[in-house]
């Protein structure tokens, strides 16, 4: 899988001239959607079919600063998947130097529009199979 690539924007910086910590969560979401699309899973199609996948837990560790204009690569990997819950890891590195900037994880469940938990294996076997094959 190719990593997601992103160029840090000026509006994302804080008073110290570095990327504000809140932006990493946005970058994780963009990278996650790109990763799922590479697997053949469209987030928008899932939602059209009635599947919502909210974040139930998120964590991160800032390793070194990203500045305006830096280009980062975000490597995404499925850590755990059991048909109901999905945990994804993220590693953000500087594209030019390879220096590690951030590591994190996000956990998600699968629910219908009424908030009831969905078993992807039963309700969406194609998506379940794609996620199961990439489970670390």
Would you call 94 a catalytic residue per the annotation?
A: no
Active-site choice (14, 70, 94, 112) = 14
Cβ neighbors of 25 (< 8 A, separation 6 or more) are 58, 60
- CA–CA–CA angle 103, 105, 111 (5° rounding): 160
Rounded to whole angstroms, how far apart are CA atoms 8 and 72? 8
Q: Which residues are catalytic?
A: 14
């Amino acid at each position: 899988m190719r990593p997601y690539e992103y160029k840090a924007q000026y509006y994302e910086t804080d008073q110290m001239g570095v990327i504000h910590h809140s932006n990493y969560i946005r970058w994780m979401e963009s990278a996650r959607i790109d990763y799922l699309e590479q697997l053949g899973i469209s987030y928008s199609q899932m939602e059209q079919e009635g599947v919502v996948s909210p974040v139930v837990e998120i964590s991160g560790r800032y390793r070194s600063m990203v500045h305006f204009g830096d280009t980062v690569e975000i490597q995404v990997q499925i850590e755990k998947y059991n048909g109901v819950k999905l945990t994804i890891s993220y590693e953000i590195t500087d594209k030019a130097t390879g220096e590690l900037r951030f590591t994190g994880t996000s956990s998600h469940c699968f629910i219908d529009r009424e908030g009831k938990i969905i078993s992807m294996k039963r309700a969406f076997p194609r998506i379940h199979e794609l996620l199961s094959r990439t489970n670390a």
